[in-house]
Amino acid sequence: MDLGVNIDHIAVLREARMVNNPNFIDALSICERAGAKQITIHLREDRRHVQDKDVVDVLAHSVLPVNLECAIEPTIIDIVCNLKPHRATLVPEKREEVTTEGGLAISTDNTRLIDAIEKLHDSEVDVSLFIDPTVEAVETSKELGVEWIELHTGRYSNLYGMLYSNLPHTKHAVKEFDLSRKELKEQLDKELEQLKEISVLAKELGLKVAAGHGLNYQNVKDIVEIEQIEELNIGQSIVARSIFSGLYKAIIDMKELVNG
Ligand code: PXP
């Protein structure tokens, strides 16, 4: 199974000061040396982290394929078609959300979606749809003629977090706060089973299967058992962990300068 690293959260830190530190581009070679197979970034309509220039720079400097997440908003799709990443993952987007909260609402009569897919294909960009793990969403994805689907693991991650650490991956999107531990476990098992069944179905239909959202160093182990999933896109937990892998050395480096 391949790992795609979502580096948006490096840009979140940079945007907090609006200076070029940390330099987004420095992440690319580290991802490559560490064995990642893909760089994933999300050009949000509100540009809260990744900026247009970042996408240009990432595409110019990344030796790894670039998976660009975006909404099906026509002006964004035009930008993506011009920039030609290796793959575009179409995601739902709400300005008020903290992170992508659910899968794309897809149907075969959604003209915005159909136009977006057509334009991207005309520009020779592979298309992935970020969907909830349901039979209907996978079958519709097949009908829409995309190459990839990415299964939204957010609900699985929230249930896992609430059951084992009392911490969903994002509090913002959680609807299951009132469930007992027994109910949480039942829901978690059901969600995992659903992810497995849907991955099998997608593969049978000839779709390539990715998954992601809220995956971390605890909950990823059950997901990697699903052999039909070819790729995981993981961001927040990797960037969060890198702070503590690097904080000690960063303090030592500064202390040397301060103490001489
Ligand atoms: N996949 C998609 C489609 C996403 O929108 C995101 C979040 O930007 C991720 C994967 C990565 O999620 P996380 O940062 O929670 O690992």
Quick one: residue 179, left, alpha or beta (phi over 0 = left, psi -120 to 50 = alpha)?
beta
Ligand 1 touching residue 213 (CB < 6 A): yes
Dist. CA 67–CA 93, nearest whole Å: 17
Domain boundaries, the chain: 2-258
Please spell the DSSP secondary structure of 16-82, one letter per residue.
HHTSS-S-TTHHHHHHHHTT--EEEEE--TT-SS--HHHHHHHHHH-SS-EEEEE-S-HHHHHHHHH
Q: Is residue 171's pLDDT more than 60?
A: no
Residue 48, pLDDT score: 87
Average pLDDT over residues 232-256: 96
Q: What is the pLDDT of residues 41-53, one digit of tens each?
A: 999 988 888 999 9
Least confident of 50-59, 89-98, 200-209, 232-241: 89-98
Residue 180, pLDDT score: 84
Dist. CA 224–CA 2, nearest whole Å: 10
Q: How far is the CA of 256 from the centre of ligand 1 (A)?
A: 37
Q: How far is the CA of 34 from the centre of ligand 1 (A)?
A: 19
The pTM score is 0.92
Residue 20, pLDDT score: 87
Ligand 1 touching residue 4 (CB < 6 A): no
Ligand 1 touching residue 120 (CB < 6 A): no
Residue 220: helix, strand or coil by DSSP?
Answer: helix
Least confident of 80-94, 155-169, 193-207, 212-226: 155-169
What is the rounded (10 degree) CA torsion for 168, 157, 164, 241? Answer: -80
Q: In CATH, what is the architecture of 2-258? A: Alpha-Beta Barrel (3.20)
- Which position has the token pair 């997608």? 202
Band of pLDDT at residue 30, cut at 50, 70 and 90: very high
Percent of the chain with pLDDT over 70: 92
Band of pLDDT at residue 207, cut at 50, 70 and 90: very high
Mean of per-residue pLDDT scores for the chain: 92
Band of pLDDT at residue 78, cut at 50, 70 and 90: very high
Hey, whose CA ends up nearest to atom 6 of ligand 1? 213
Q: Is residue 138's pLDDT more than 90?
A: yes
Average pLDDT over residues 20-30: 93
Catalytic residue of the set 69, 101, 150, 231:
69
Q: Is residue 83's pLDDT more than 80?
A: yes
Average pLDDT over residues 130-151: 97
Band of pLDDT at residue 143, cut at 50, 70 and 90: very high
Looking at residue 195, what DSSP letter applies?
A: H
Tell me the one-letter amino acid at 87. R
Q: How far is the CA of 7 from the centre of ligand 1 (A)?
A: 10
In the annotation, is 42 catalytic? yes
Tell me the one-letter amino acid at 223. I
In angstroms, how far is the first alpha carbon of the chain from the final one? Answer: 47
Residue 58, pLDDT score: 96
Band of pLDDT at residue 63, cut at 50, 70 and 90: very high
Q: How far is the CA of 258 from the centre of ligand 1 (A)?
A: 39
Which of 39, 69, 195, when mutated, tests ligand 1's pocket best, judged by the most ligand atoms within 8 Å of its CB?
69
Q: Rg of the Cα trace of the chain?
A: 19
